Each structure stands twice: as structure tokens, then as C-alpha cells.
Structure 1
Amino acid sequence: MTRRRGRHDGQSGASLHTVLTAVGANVLVAVAKGVAALVTGSAALWAETLHSIADTGNELLLFVGLRRSKKKEDLEHPFGYGQERYFWAFLAALGIFLIGGVLSIIEGVRSLLRPEPLSSPWVGIAVLVAAACFEGYSWGVARRQLRVRARELHRTLAEHLIRASDPTATTVYLEDSAALVGIALALAALVLHLLTGWAGWDGLASICIGLLLIAVAALLARRSKALLIDESAPQDVVRPIRDAIVRPDWVADVRALDVIFVGPAELLVIARVVPVPDAVEVPARDLVKRVDGLRQELLRAPAITEAAVTVEDVPR
């Protein structure tokens, strides 16, 4: 039984472009923020530097997942390595939590306990404005990929973020969304420091950035966990598959249908069908041909990696 793989190269290519764009943007942003943090002494800028470093590392993990997920199926992994992406996305979520979230909160608390006046705050403001442009571009690339896929599945963007089977663009999109909010918080802290002279704004912004990153990490980890433990496909994916199964005139009903993600946009379909009474009376070889024809029809769908169809006899 030969499985056809490599039918999602377009989506994988879009994910790779999204990841590489995010890596390039975050390397530039991390360096700029780090220099500005050294010049100004701002805790919020240190938090944003940690955030960008964490994002860069996370996107490299996503890149590893993309490459490893393309390995061919073998005896130990008969359905391929598509779930590698979920594992590496889970590690990326842990990176956001530990490096971005926890360390940002620690830096914010330290700054509140020992507030220090800022040096050259305008340098920090200029760097943050430039960082917002880079992050905004990366965010736009990820958003475009998600919107294209959402339209293909007749979903809103919000629905697709919840149900998407490919964690790559979702992770980059949420990371960049958090980055833009974090930049806004850091900018607000610098401006308020200039206006009021109170250094505590910086520490508060750093703590808020850390809490934001922990929330994003929790969302991403929860989604990756669900996909790692063979989550069933949502109903908007299952429904057309069920319709295709009952379309042949020899199928009376679908007794059971399991549709499981074995990788991003890769589905394992297991169906038990009840034939019409007349179909049971035909020679066994003819019924076998009908079942195999139905299986081949299912496999023509780009998202279905493997399908198994079994027949349950009708009551006599």
C-alpha cells in the first residue's frame, strides 16, 4: 500500500518563507534593541531584547521542524514525520515562556526594586519605532499565509488560528503580534518616563511584556499538545469527507468515521460503512473493487495521506 506524499509543497514553501522572514527580522531587531538597552539602561528594552532573542531561537526551532517533517515514511514511522512540526513548535512555546516571559518579569521586578534614570531615551524610542516596522513586515507575511489558507477552508482568520493544523505560521503570527504589543508597551514606558520622571514605568512595562509572552506561550503549547496526541480534525474538515464517502450509490450509511491529523494538512481517514442490501448480494470481488474505488477516490483529496475503508454487513 503506497502512500503519496509531497502534495503540500506549496504550503510548506509558504511556511518556510514565513519562518525565514521572521528570523531575518528578529535578528536585526534583537541586535538593535540590545544596543539601545545598553545605551539607555531601560528594563523594558532589555525585556524586548530577550523577547526578540527568544523569537529568533523559536523560529530556528520551527525551521528544524519544517526540515525534519519532510522525511519520507519508513517502517518505524509509517505515516511519515509530519508531527515533527508539532514537537518543535511545542519547544518553541517553552522558549517563549522561559526566555521571553520569565526573564522579562524578573528584569521588571529588579527594575522596580532598584529604579534607575534612563540615559538617551530618544535612542530607545527611535530603535523601537524601527523595530515595529521590521516586526510589522514579518507579521504581515504570516498573516497573509494564514488568510490564504483560511479562505481555502472557508474560515475566518480567528477560526483558522484555533483550528489550524500547521503550527508554523500560527506561531510566527502570534509571536509577532505579541512583539508589536510589547514594543507599544516599551514605547509607552519610555514616553511616560520622560513626561513624569518616574523610573517605575520601565519595570511595569517589562512585567507586562513578560505576562503577555507567558499567555502566548500557553496558547501555543496547548495547541501543539492537542495536535501531538492525534487530535481529530474539526467538523468543517470531516463533513466533506463524510459526504464523499456516502456519495456512491452502494453505500447506505457511515457507521464510524475517524479523521486524524498525522501532520500539517495531512489526514488519516478510517471509515466503516454500511452497504445497501443489494451490494451485499454481489460477488465478494465486486464489493472489494467498490471499496477500493472509494478508497482511491478519498486519496485524490490533497489533504488525505492515507485512508482505510471497511464494510459492515447489513442485518439479515
Structure 2
Amino acid sequence: MASGSQATVIAALTANGLITASKIGAAIASGSTAMLAESLHSFADTANQGLLLYGLNQAKRPADTRRPLGYGREVYFWTFTVSVVIFFLGGVFAIYEGTKKAFFETEHHSIDPFWTYVVLGASILFEGYSFAIAVGEFNEYRGDKPFFKALLETRDPVIPTVLFEDSAAIVGSMIALVGVWIADTLKLPIVDGLASIFIGTVLCGVGIFLALESRSLLIGEGASDEDYAKARACILTIPEIVGIEELLMPQLGPEEIMVNLAVTFRSDLTIQQVEQAIDRTEDAIRAQVPKVKRIFIEAESLKNISSNRY
């Protein structure tokens, strides 16, 4: 899903850049706190897409002596950074500004809603378009797996991050639209501040969720149950192998898995036959799970026989 992830991020970056500029103009023209919160939200989203693109490019770097297992987890770090930006720059700031306007300002300025309606309506359309692209890419990736199950189990956090950002953006724009309309129609500026608080609450929730997901990936998750089952099944098809002592499949990045395998071979095999069996085992694993890039196999039943393959 790496190439699809990059295309999705570029589409979101373009949409959010245009939306941010228009929202800032509308916030200045209207004097709406909710609109200001949405401007900061869109600015944070734009910055986040840039961070995700940077992470995707960093993850493509080949392994070297400093990072012998590669840079695949760069994506996880920058996704975590995105969650922090959403929480603080988007959520906390929106709650602060909304609270200040709703409960501590003694003089409220009137709101000119015209450009707010225009910009929020356009942003909902643009965000919806970006969201549809992300959903399409994700549906292609998940296949027949249920949507939310695939969303929670994916080892590529980029498209889910875009999905949650776009969802929060659409919800936030709708809240701002309703808040500005009520504040203008009923002449209750406090509602504009309350709308900003609601927007900030949504963003904080998204930030916390993404942070928890990124934390799990940063600490280290194994391959999916499906990939694990495929690898185990094809290993057991090798006639020279009579048992699997240990099978570890840590995820090194969205598109990279490492296999650490300890197996028991038949006791009547020669060293040459074991080596041939190891070669076939590696080929079988890679054929079934293309994301496997590194395989380490240890022959448990024979002394001093091990194979480390790259």
C-alpha cells in the first residue's frame, strides 16, 4: 500500500493547503472563533501531510551499517508526530480559544457569516473528495476483510491517518458551520466559542487514538495473523522439516517483515540437504508473504548448522 499511501497523502496535502488559505481569510473576515479553530485545524492537517510524505520517503532508504534492519519504522515515528500535532496545535488550541471566547470575553464582536458559509461548504466538498480517495485506496488494500477490522489491524498507518484526519475535518467543518449559523441567527456569540470547543474535543480524540496506534507500531508489532498463518503453513510443506520450534515475524515497516525461524530437520539429512531445504523454505515464505525481506533460519536438530540469509 506504500505507493497508494503516497498518492493519498499528496491528494490530501493539496486539498488541505487550499482549504487552509481560504479558511484563514474567512476567519479574518468573519471574526469567528470556530472559523479560526478550523483554520488552525486545516493548517495542522497540511503540516501533517508534509510530515507523512517525509516519513514515507525516509522509510525507502536502504539499510546501512547504522540501521542494519532498514528505515521502515520512520513512518511510524512521523505518524506519532502527526498525532501530537493534531492534539496540541489543533485540539488544545481550539479548546483554549473557544473557552476564552465563550466564558471569559465580556465583549463579543458580531460575526459576518457569508464567507464562512462559502469556505466551510467548499472545504467539506474538498475534504470529502480527499476522504473518498483514501477510502478507495484502503478498500483496495483490505480486500474482503471488514473495514474497521482492517483499519485497526493494518501495519501501514498512513492511509488510516489520512482517513481520520479527513473525517475530523469534515465533522469539524460541519460543527463550525452550525455554530456560526446559530451564533448569527440567534445573536448568541457564545455558541461560536462552544463550537470551537467541540471541534477541539474531536481533534483531541483523533490525536489520542492515532498516538496509541503509532505507539504500538513503534514499540514493535508482529506480522498480521494472516501473514503468520501463511508463513507457518508453507514452512510445514517442506518435507525435510519435522517441526517448528520458534517462528517470530516482527514488522520492520509497513511493507517489510523479518522472519526468525528455528526448525527441526529430519535427523538423516546431510548438511547439503539441509542447506537445500533452507533455500526452498526461504523461497516458499517469500512466495506466500512478499513483504518478507529478511529471513534467519536456525537448524535446531543439527549442531553448528545455521543459515543467516538476506
- TM-score norm. by structure 2 comes to 0.92
1:288 alignment counterpart: 275
**Residue aligned with 1:105, SS:** helix
Partner of 1:4: none
Find out whether 1:128 has 2:120 as its counterpart: yes
SS in 1 for 2:263: strand
Separation (CA, whole Å) in 2 of partners of 1:18 and 1:88: 16
Counterpart contact for 2:31–2:112, Cα < 8 Å: no
Q: Is the 8 A contact 2:131 2:163 kept in 1?
A: yes
Q: CA deviation at 1:138?
A: 0.8
Task: Report the CA distance between 1:251 and its aligned residue.
Answer: 2.2
- Does residue 118 of the first structure (1) align with residue 110 of the second (2)? yes
Distance 1:129 1:303 in 2: 42
Task: Give the superposed CA RMSD.
Answer: 1.5
CA distance in 2, matches of 1:215, 1:236: 30
Question: Residue 201 of structure 2 is aligned with which of 193, 211, 221?
Answer: 211
The answer to whether the 8 A contact 1:44-1:206 is kept is yes
Runs of at least 4 residues off by over 4 Å:
none
Question: Is this contact kept in 1: 2:111–2:184, CA < 8 A?
Answer: no
Q: 1:176 aligns with which of 166, 173, 185?
A: 166
What stretches of structure 1 of length at least 5 have no aligned partner?
1-10
For 2:145 and 2:243, how far apart are their aligned partners in 1?
28
Secondary structure of the 1:67 match is helix
Note the C-alpha offset of 1:181: 0.6
CA distance in 1, matches of 2:244, 2:41: 49
Q: Which residue of 2 aligns with 1:305?
A: 293
Worse-matched range after superposition: 119-128 or 21-30: 119-128
Structure 1 position 234, deviation (Å): 2.7
Question: 1:49 Cα shift?
Answer: 0.3
Residue 220 of structure 2 corresponds to which residue in structure 1?
Answer: 230
Structure 2 match to 1:6: none
User: Matched residue of 1:253: which SS?
Assistant: strand
Residue 5 of structure 2 aligns with which residue?
Answer: 15
Cα deviation, residue 210, structure 1: 0.8
- TM, length-normalised to structure 1: 0.91
CA displacement at 1:284 relative to structure 2: 2.1
Q: Does 1:191 align with 2:178?
A: no
Q: Cα distance, 1:59 vs. partner? A: 0.6
Secondary structure of 2:9 counterpart? helix
Q: Which 5+ residue runs of structure 2 have no aligned equivalent?
A: 303-310
Q: 1:20 Cα deviation (Å)?
A: 1.0
| 1:117 shift after superposition | 4.3
Q: Structure 2 CA distance, aligned partners of 1:204 and 1:165? A: 37
Q: Specify which of 12, 25, 43 is matched with residue 33 of structure 2.
A: 43
Code of the residue aligned with 1:56 in structure 2: it is T
Aligned residue pair count? 299
Distance 2:245 2:110 in 1: 69
% identical aligned pairs = 33
